[in-house]
Every structure is written in structure tokens, then in C-alpha cells.
Structure 1
Amino acid sequence: MLNYRQLHYFWVVAKTGSIARASEQLNLTPQTISGQISLFEQAYNIELFQRVGRQLELTESGRQTLSYAEQMFQIASELETVLRAQPEEQQIVFRVGVADMVPKSIVYRLLAPAMALDGVLRISCREDKLERLLGDLAIQRLDLVISDSPMPNHLDIKGFSQKLGECGLSFFADPALAARLSAGFPACLHNAPLLIPGQDTMLRSRLLRWLAEQHLQPRIIGEFDDSALMQAFGQSGSGLFVAPSVIAEEVCQRCAVQLIGQTDAVTEAFYAISVERKVKHPGIVAITESARHQLFQ
């Protein structure tokens, strides 16, 4: 079984950079700390540090161990804060993972109802690739994952998808590029520079299929896994870009771009993925109710 005291000594040494500084912080002798770390290394037949000159540097095993130790002691610190709080001061930490292609404006609108629960929740939000987020969901590092696709069938992870809603797709361009588009929508897309979502998104295949059905061949000049980055390139005039129609007005105002056209033939859906089939978490309930009855009404 993992010796958490030894792991803690290692963590402090790695954070402070030396056994001497760690001994001052822990109020222990350097010999005690060094001996305990040696026992930890012997138990797993690894080396955590290597000496380079007069400095200690982490080995590859040390870096990997530190990554896990950081997360463990961060969670332990959060738990201690919760346990020491008075009942009326306690908050529920609501840990949300967001797939990187979900537009940030959509994320904010989805999470806002949970943040408005009179201080009951403290939201911890992290953005990453969907599969990594689902891995953290499986081991309960996350309470919820927001994605543009439901739970993938090929993953051996227990999770349940709730569709929050869907909407059509809007096309935008900066004013200079918009002025050069002579035809009406959607004909103006033909041979126009276009920025599209990356290969891992559900929207990409739907968009390309619709363009083919309309006999349109834009010049695809960029593919982006991050919707904010795609909008930044579009705002600079690199090409037309797309966003969910439900935030079209906000995109125009924030990015100073023009709405070129909209279609409901291509839709983008958003999902809440959790480990509970019947959702009880107050944050998830607030998100799903608001999404279905307000945002995607």
C-alpha cells in the first residue's frame, strides 16, 4: 500500500528544490526525510531524484510521481477546507470538464445558472480533449463533462449523456471580407476562404456534407480544435468561420464581424455527460433545466 507520509516528504522536497529546505518546512532532520524517500524508492524499485552538481533534479519517474502527488494533495487541501468550514459556510465543489471545441460563450451560458445558486457551489472548470475528460469523470475527478457529442460507444467508461439542446449554424466574416462576397448566401461560400472545426468534432462532417449537397466548394484554409482560436482567426480576416446560431448576435458584437447567413440544415448539439443516470447534483440539475427551457428553447 502506498505510504502517503513518504509521498508527502517527496512532494515537499520536489516543491522546495532541496532536502534542506524541506526539512525546515517539515521541521524534520534532513536524514529523516532522505531516509524515508529512500524507503519509498526501494518499495517501487525506482529513482525519484538524480543529483546534477549540487542540485537535485527529478527523474522521469519523479516527474510522473509529482504529477499525481500534486493532484492528490490539492484534493486533500480542498477536503481539509471543507471539513474545517462551519456547516453554513460549506460549499460544494462542482468540477466541470469542457471539451475544447465547445464555444466559450455556450459554456458560460450553460454554467451561469449553476453559479447563481446563492453561493452553494464553487465551480472548478477545466478544458481538455473529450477522452481525457471522460477518463477523469470515470475516476470521479470531475462531476460533469460538457461536450458537442454524446458519450462515445467505444470507450469502456460508465457515463450517461443528456442532450441539452441543439441549434443551427451561422457563418461570419470580418467587414472587409464580407464586402468582397458578391453572391447571396449560401452561394457566396463557393471559393471563399473558410475556417472549419477540427477532425475530432461532430460538426465538421455535417458541415462538409451540407456544402457538398449545395455544390459549394469553399477554400478551406484552416482547421481548429479550439473554437475561440477559430474565431480569433476569423476576426482578423483570415476567412469566414462558423458558430452556433444561438450565440450569433453575441459573436457579431464581441468579434466585430458580420453575419453572412444561417442554416438549420446543419445543427450543433450539446451534451451533459455524468456518471449518474438520474441526476441529483444541484449544479447539473440547474444546467440541464436552464439549457432546455431557456438557452435552447
Structure 2
Amino acid sequence: MNFNHLHYFHVVAQEGTLARAAKRLNITQPTLSGQLKQLEEHFGHKLFDRASGALRLNANGRKAFEVTQEMFRLSSRLDDIFPGRDAEPRVRLEVGIATTVGRSFAVERFITLFKSQRILTRVRQGDHEYLFHELLATGLDLLITDSLPHRRKERGTDCRKLSSPEFVVAGGRKFVSSLKEPTIEGLHGQPFIHYTSHSAYRFEIDQYLRQKRVEPRVVAEADDVYVIRDAIAANIGAGVLPRGVIEESKNSRQFQVLATLERKFEIYALFSKRDPSEEVLTALEILAGAGGSGPC
């Protein structure tokens, strides 16, 4: 075992796949796979669970990752103590955004970190459950999501409630023009692209529609706001979206807003409650300053 073995393991744990890790390390996937195999043989234990191309830290891997995190954190401090290289080291901040949260919601709030010469903020989007597992496995520093995981505090995470985006009921202009009435009431019996039962939005939207005494015909379900936006743009039916997701579209004029939901949906920032880094605390302050936040 040598330093490279541990460095390669550390990067794979952060990236989650051999492909992404190999690209970051500028080596081939077979070389990286071989190095991981040697390290696992050295310890006599598997460090990852392998499924569908993804590598997830198992219990042994999480123990090893705790050590390598400290190793490379100290290594970074040595670079700070003995400057002189052409480029100063940058601290990585790994941020995951659930697909049910519009990218613009987080991007607007992380723009200050994007400009930082000291912090390299890396944002990736994915399924909430997968990203939460990454947070638990310390592959993520922050998770922006609309759902609070079950028994999150017992699992070592804390959260900050963030200001919520405004949600609207919208349809493509061609679709809306076909309605007898271009209002929320005009959607009764009409095609509707809904969120799945796994989404925190589903229950609230159903409650809203019941209050309006409107029962649209659900023709498709998705948890990705951009899938729903594209379906609406194709005039398949109406749906509920964050207003910002419509406004960031290149062809925002092809949408017509039928109503604004009175109730705002909560967005949360999840993080490890055990010794959060300075970068995580900085990011939380930026998120809080974007419109108010508080404890969950």
C-alpha cells in the first residue's frame, strides 16, 4: 500500500463511479480498478458495494474514508503553510441537488462560492435517496432537497430550512388555448403531468386542487421538474413548477401561468452535524442570506 492507493480510493469515494474518478485523476479506468483491488486485498476487506456502475462505500469503506478525509485535509494545510506553487490549493465543496429542486434555486444562491478562488464548488443533481446516501457516506458536504429523510438526526445529519421558491400552475400556450377557460378551474378533466407519490410536492398539490374543486386527468408522473417542464412545453398537459424553472427556460414565452399556489414548498439544506467544515457553514450562511431560513 502506498499514498497513491489511498488517494485513488479517496477520489473514487467522492465521485461515486470509476468513470468520474478516472477522469478527475487523468488515468484509465482499468488502472484505477486495479489500484482499488490491490488496496482491498491489502486490507482483506471490500470497501465498496458495486451496483449498476456505481460504487457506494460500505461500512469498512466509510471507516477508511474518515481516515483519508483527515489525511488529505492535513495535506492541504501543509500546502497552506508552505506556499510557493503557481496555483493555490482549492478546497472542494461537494453539493448535491435533488431533481425535484430547480437548479436555478441553488445556483442563484451559490454564485458567491462559484466566484471564490479558495473554494471549488461542485454541484451535481440526482435522486434524493441516492444523494442522501452519498451524504451519509461523506461523499457530499451539502444536500439541497425538498424532503426530510426519516430519522435523519439519528443518522447523523442536521438541516437548515431555506426560503421557498414560488410554485405556479402552468401549461403550454397551445394547450391553454384549447381550454374552455384559461384558469385553474379550466383544468377539470384535462391532461395533467403530476409528481409521483415519492415527492413531497404530491400531497400539497392534491390538497390545493381539492380546495379548488378541480380534478385533472393525470397522464404522466415524474419527480424531475425539468421533465415536467419539457412535457408542459410540448403541450401534453398542465403541471405545477417553480416559477424560476419556467423563467430560466430559453422559450419561457411558450408557457402560460394559470394560477399561483398560495402555499410555498419548503427547501432544505442537509449536512453532517458532526463537525461541519468552514466551507459548509459559509455555504449555509449564503443560502440563509438569500431570503431567510431557520432550523428544521
| Structure 1 length-normalised TM | 0.69
- 1:35-74 correspondence runs (5 A): 40=41, 43=44
Output the aligned Cα RMSD: 4.4
Q: Secondary structure at the match of 1:133?
A: helix
Partner of residue 95, structure 2:
96
Question: Which moved further from structure 2: 219-228 or 8-17?
Answer: 8-17
Could you say which structure has the larger radius of gyration? 1
**2:168/2:241 contact within 8 Å kept:** yes
* CA deviation map 1:2-23 (0-9, x unaligned): x56896899989614999xx9x
**1:173/1:239 contact within 8 Å kept:** yes
**1:189/1:217 contact within 8 Å kept:** yes
- 1:224-263 correspondence runs (5 A): 224-245=222-243, 249-251=247-249, 253-254=251-252, 256-263=254-261
Residue identity opposite 1:115 in structure 2 = F
| Structure 2 length-normalised TM | 0.69
Q: How many corresponding residue pairs? A: 258
- Residue 190 of structure 1: CA displacement? 0.6
**2:169/2:184 contact within 8 Å kept:** no
**1:191/1:218 contact within 8 Å kept:** yes
Alpha-carbon distance in structure 2 between the residues aligned to 1:210 and 1:76:
48
What 5-or-longer segments of structure 1 have no aligned partner? 23-35, 47-59
**2:170/2:238 contact within 8 Å kept:** yes
Partner of residue 270, structure 2:
273
Question: Identity of aligned pairs, percent?
Answer: 17
Alpha-carbon distance in structure 2 between the residues aligned to 1:102 and 1:253:
20
Residue identity opposite 1:92 in structure 2 = V
- Residue 223 of structure 1: CA displacement? 0.6
1:110 aligns with 2:125: no
Alpha-carbon distance in structure 1 between the residues aligned to 2:208 and 2:252:
27
Residue identity opposite 2:260 in structure 1 = Q
Alpha-carbon distance in structure 2 between the residues aligned to 1:205 and 1:272:
21
**1:252/1:259 contact within 8 Å kept:** no
Partner of residue 287, structure 1:
287
Alpha-carbon distance in structure 2 between the residues aligned to 1:252 and 1:17:
40
**2:143/2:271 contact within 8 Å kept:** yes
